[in-house]
Amino acid sequence: MITKSAYEMSAAMAAGETSSVALTQAHLDRISAVDQHVHAFLHVDTEGALAQAKAVDDARARGEKVGPLAGVPLALKDVMVQQGIPTTCGSKILEGWRPPYDATVVTKLKNAGVVILGKTNMDEFAMGSSTENSAYGPTHNPWDLTRIPGGSGGGSSASLAAFEAPLAIGTDTGGSIRQPAAVTGTVGVKPTYGGVSRYGLIAFSSSLDQAGPCARTVLDTALLHEVIAGHDGKDATSINAPVPQVVKAARDGNVKGMKIGFVKELNGDGYQPGVRSRFEESLELLAKAGAEIVEVSCPNFEYALAAYYLIAPSECSSNLARFDAMRYGIRVGDSDGASAESVMNLTRQVGFGREVKRRIILGTYALSSGYYDAYYGSAQKVRTLIMQDFTKAFTSADVLVSPTCPTTAFKIGEKANDPLAMYLNDIATIPVNMAGIGGMSLPCGLAPEDNLPVGFQIMAPAMQDQRMYTVGAALEAALLDQWGAPLLSRIPALAGTQ
């Protein structure tokens, strides 16, 4: 049953063929069996998950109406606070912290009866593209345990690919949902900025961060999207508008008459040949399904990476100032006579990892007197140009598409000492965050060079997220007809689990 989709699991529970307790226990058993190899989870809440599952089963037994995902297990990225559950953001500086409240996303999950299995591993404070920056060790890609599962949400995507959970929550600041989905052969969506509440999401870059759904199918992702989306008065950036009809779109999947624009700047010479070939084959399938494929140009996308790595570090240098050893988390050097300044300095020195320190320093410099206009101010102007590129492109196409990542999953440690090479993994995903629009990644096959998953990215205008699901469902169906079975059915056996 753990290899089924969340939708199939829900149907089986509704038919009395299984229970939430049985499903939850099966996934907990799977975690026990394989997570020593994958390291997708930082904390597994066995007692809490089983209690949530029993509550759903009891509600069903009483004849109460439950939601479409009630009783289905989920893995939660450790950047979302959950009351009483350890929340670290992948950082030593928050080791042992148990939040006193739930994030709005967590509240919505609980209200919908979704069973939260535990918290997943991530790059520290969501800063990274490989989950190697976690203070608690890297997560491994279930397709090849020597390779990265993407980042920053590698734990969430790996839990899906390893069949440790059928659903997961991620967050996406520059590609942290879509890039892990691409390299693990799963589905991940960054909703329109403001479409899902950020209340209780520990901030990295407030103008870019967005929580979103992760799953193994387009429909499952849409079902989870509808659970977590909607206006929240606790989040000043939350959009007060109806949630796009993403589930209806995922069930429809009709692209006849749609114009799909491939962005010529996001399929260039720096892309792995196998990634390009799988992407181009997917365009052909969409054309056969009735879509019109057009080329669009977004010339300012080439500046997106540089602008992002000024805006995001600038905002992180401000957001992470709150981790000062005075209110929560670890405290170092707190001896008799120690000044508050020395405790703060020692705690931040010990508690933050190298990548976090690098970005805090870069952001502080970009915001400093005399440099603000030259760096942060100029980056914001580039952001405006990127938004204008999208606006113009969407006059020619209903959605835009590209490969999600320029390459398949690389080896753990391969790029750890080369920050620029690591940053380039997000070259195709960052423009979406800069413009605040929606983005999806779904698997479109295996690269012939290494038999590793390739991601297909779909981008839609703000609050038109349903368009991504329409195109994603159409491509997923066409690929399933071609493959004869889901891509993840071809995943190699995890080492030591047979």
Q: State whether residue 52 is helix, strand or coil.
A: helix
Q: How far apart are CA 164 and CA 35, in angstroms?
A: 8
Q: Is 0.85 surpassed by the pTM of this model?
A: yes
Determine whether 152 is an active site residue.
yes
Provide the 10 A C-beta neighbour count for residue 334. Answer: 13
Helix axes 304-319, 378-393, angle to 10 degrees: 130
- Active-site residue, selected from the candidate residues 5, 77, 92, 156: 77
Q: State whether residue 403 is helix, strand or coil.
A: strand
- Active-site residue, selected from the candidate residues 176, 197, 282, 441: 176
What pLDDT score does 95 carry?
93
Provide the 10 A C-beta neighbour count for residue 459. Answer: 30
Q: State whether residue 443 is helix, strand or coil.
A: strand
What pLDDT score does 159 carry?
98
Per 3-state DSSP, what percentage of the chain is helix, strand, and coil (rounded to 5)? 45, 15, 40
Report the Cα 424 to chain-centroid distance in Å: 17
CB 410 within 8 A of CB 460: no
Q: How far apart are CA 149 and CA 452, in angstroms?
A: 11
- All domains in the chain, ordered by first residue: 6-301+383-490 (3.90.1300.10)
**Phi and psi torsions of 156, nearest 5°:** -65, -45
- Active-site residue, selected from the candidate residues 19, 134, 152, 441: 152
Query: Which one-letter amino acid corresponds to residue 39?
Result: H
What pLDDT score does 333 carry?
80
Tokens of 283: 């365009």
Give residue 445's region: left, alpha or beta (phi > 0; psi -120 to 50): left
What pLDDT score does 54 carry?
98
Q: How far apart are CA 490 and CA 418, in angstroms?
A: 32
Tokens of 135: 């203070």
What pLDDT score does 342 carry?
86
Helix ranges (DSSP H) in 245-303: 246-252, 273-288
Tokens of 119: 């918290």
| Exposure class string for 443-452: b at 16+ Cβ within 10 A, else e | bbbbbeebeb
pLDDT along the chain (498 residues), means of 10: 96 97 98 97 98 98 96 98 97 95 98 98 97 97 97 97 98 98 98 98 97 98 98 97 97 97 89 96 98 97 96 95 85 79 88 94 91 91 98 98 97 90 92 98 97 98 98 98 94 61
CB 382 within 8 A of CB 304: yes
Query: Strand 438-447's sheet: what is its strand order?
Result: 41-44, 115-120, 73-77, 167-171, 211-215, 187-190, 438-447, 452-460, 399-403, 259-263, 292-296
Determine whether 134 is an active site residue.
no
Helix axes 46-61, 20-38, angle to 10 degrees: 160
In sequence order, which residues have a C-beta less than 8 Å from that of residue 158 and are 6 or more positions away?
Answer: 38, 39, 40, 120, 121, 131, 139, 140, 141, 142, 149, 164, 180, 184
Q: How far apart are CA 312 and CA 434, in angstroms?
A: 10
Determine whether 378 is an active site residue.
no
Beta-strand pair 399-403/438-447: unpaired
- DSSP letter assigned to residue 274: H
